[in-house]
Amino acid sequence: MPRLDWLITEMHVTGGAETYVRRLAPRLLRAGWDVRVIALAGGGELLEELRSENVPVVELGLNRRAGFAAAFSRLLNLWRASRPDLVHTHLYHAGLVGRLAARWLNIGPVVVHQHGAEFARTRLRTILDASTLGWVSRYVVSCQAVADVLMAREGIPPAQISVIYNGLDVRNFKRASRARHPDSWPVPAGSLSVGCVGRLSPEKGQSTLIQAASLLIDQGRDFHVVFVGEGSQLLELLEQCNRLGLEDNIHFVGHQQGAAGWLVHFDIFALPSAWEGISLALLEAMAAGLPVVATAVGGTPEVVLDGQTGLLVPPGDPQATAAALERLLSDPALRQEMGAAGRARVSASFAIEGTQEQLEQLYQQLLEQHGLQ
């Protein structure tokens, strides 16, 4: 089979792009593809997990001492010695370095994976992307919402973009496994819980969820919110909870290995983000049979069917979020109905088998166009 090199900036964190690489690379290897994962920056548990599944991993040693010039030089040397047939990049810096190195060595095709819209990017990044889009054979995006941003912002032609939804193995998320709580489960027995999984940062909107919880608790509704994840906004969110007197009802449990073990114990999942591509945490929650309250931003409306698999609310709106939560908290039958519908939707439209199949079809098409198949 042709050699596929997956180039990613780093694998230190467990974000959407990193999880995507962790899940898909071993599947492609087992399907017969000669896939190799190259990380500009080394280290991280995910790289070791890839190695444990026999995926070849190369770390280029990007750090404060060895900057991008050194990593770029190592990548050129690696590709001179072991030339790939196709390059697939993940995250911004890998995308830029990868397409430049491939252009330098006349390697093609090049696939650039845009996992999110990156609204916080600098103007320089947009200029660099727009000026080098001719070096990219195909952009892969996680949802149509991200595709729309790329077409408007970078001027990428629609024919150069493929929408391939993130997928997951639905079999790993079973509501039947609720018998034993995780060791650090913070919710008292008999209480309802709302789970929110993700990086603690402003764009994820956790502050809005806390405000919504405060509105309901002030009205006498007794429930608990559990935030799973780490991030720069932790102290600010803790201070917000203290000001609102929510210390007993809001819990921050940090990063937890294995989301399935937590998700199956929540009663409702909340995704209050200001922007999302296709949230893997959202897909996992729906696969676990949870009804969701999510903001109608980015690719989320492409996943959540409002009123069927969950409730969509405007971003940054505590009152609307509180009303949606109250509707689900007060109606066990509705929670069960929406949770079952959500799991069925993920199984039908967001299974990892479908993601893999579409990737392989894209690779075959591009390799044939370049005379490499």
Q: Does residue 97 carry a pLDDT above 60?
A: yes
Give yes or no: residues 69 and 51 share one domain: yes
How confident is the model at residue 242, as a pLDDT?
A: 97
Q: Which domain holds residue 64?
A: 3-167+352-369
42-56, 92-106, 175-189: the lowest-pLDDT one: 175-189
Average pLDDT estimate for 123-133: 93
Q: Structurally, how many domains does the chain consist of?
A: 2
Q: How confident is the model at residue 117 (pLDDT cuts 50, 70, 90)?
A: confident
Q: How confident is the model at residue 184 (pLDDT cuts 50, 70, 90)?
A: confident
Give yes or no: residues 175 and 145 share one domain: no
Q: Does residue 175 carry a pLDDT above 70?
A: no
Give yes or no: residues 317 and 175 share one domain: yes
88-97, 165-174, 316-325: the lowest-pLDDT one: 165-174
CA 44 to chain centre: 17
Give yes or no: residues 187 and 306 share one domain: yes
Q: Return the structure tokens found at 65.
A: 């001492």
Q: How confident is the model at residue 72 (pLDDT cuts 50, 70, 90)?
A: very high
Q: Does residue 260 carry a pLDDT above 90?
A: no
Give yes or no: residues 48 and 111 share one domain: yes
Cα Rg for the chain, rounded, in angstroms?
A: 21
Average pLDDT estimate for 158-170: 95
Give yes or no: residues 215 and 321 share one domain: yes
Three state DSSP letters for 96-151: HHHHHHHHHHCCCCEEEEECCCCCCCCHHHHHHHHHCHHHCCEEEECCHHHHHHHH
Mean pLDDT of the chain: 94
18, amino acid identity: E
> 187-215, pLDDT tens digit by residue?
999 999 999 999 999 999 999 999 999 99
Give yes or no: residues 73 and 154 share one domain: yes
Give yes or no: residues 9 and 138 share one domain: yes
Give yes or no: residues 291 and 361 share one domain: no
Q: Return the structure tokens found at 17.
A: 């792009």
How confident is the model at residue 37, as a pLDDT?
A: 98
Q: Which of residues 152 and 62 earns the better pLDDT score?
A: 152
Question: For residue 159, what is the domain's CATH number?
Answer: 3.40.50.2000
Give yes or no: residues 321 and 223 share one domain: yes
How confident is the model at residue 93, as a pLDDT?
A: 93
266, amino acid identity: F
How confident is the model at residue 179, as a pLDDT?
A: 61
Q: Does residue 281 carry a pLDDT above 80?
A: yes
Q: Does residue 258 carry a pLDDT above 80?
A: no
Average pLDDT estimate for 30-42: 96
C-alpha distances (whole Å) from 352 to each of 15, 29, 54, 170, 337 are 17, 15, 20, 8, 24
Q: With the CA atoms of 170, 175, 177 and 181 taken in that order, what torsion angle do they form, in degrees rounded to the nearest 10?
A: 120
Percent of residues, the chain, with pLDDT higher than 70: 98
Closest CA to 194 of 263, 270, 282: 270
Q: Name 203's Cβ contacts closer than 8 Å, sequence gap at least 6.
A: 119, 120, 273, 274, 275
> Which spans in 220-351 are helix H?
234-244, 260-263, 280-287, 300-303, 318-329, 332-349
**Do residues 138 and 109 make contact, with C-beta atoms less than 8 angstroms apart?**
yes
1-10, 12-21, 308-317: the lowest-pLDDT one: 12-21
pTM of the complete model: 0.90
Secondary structure tally for the chain: helices H, strands E: 14, 13
> 225-251, pLDDT tens digit by residue?
999 999 999 999 999 999 999 999 999
Give yes or no: residues 233 and 256 share one domain: yes
Give yes or no: residues 142 and 204 share one domain: no
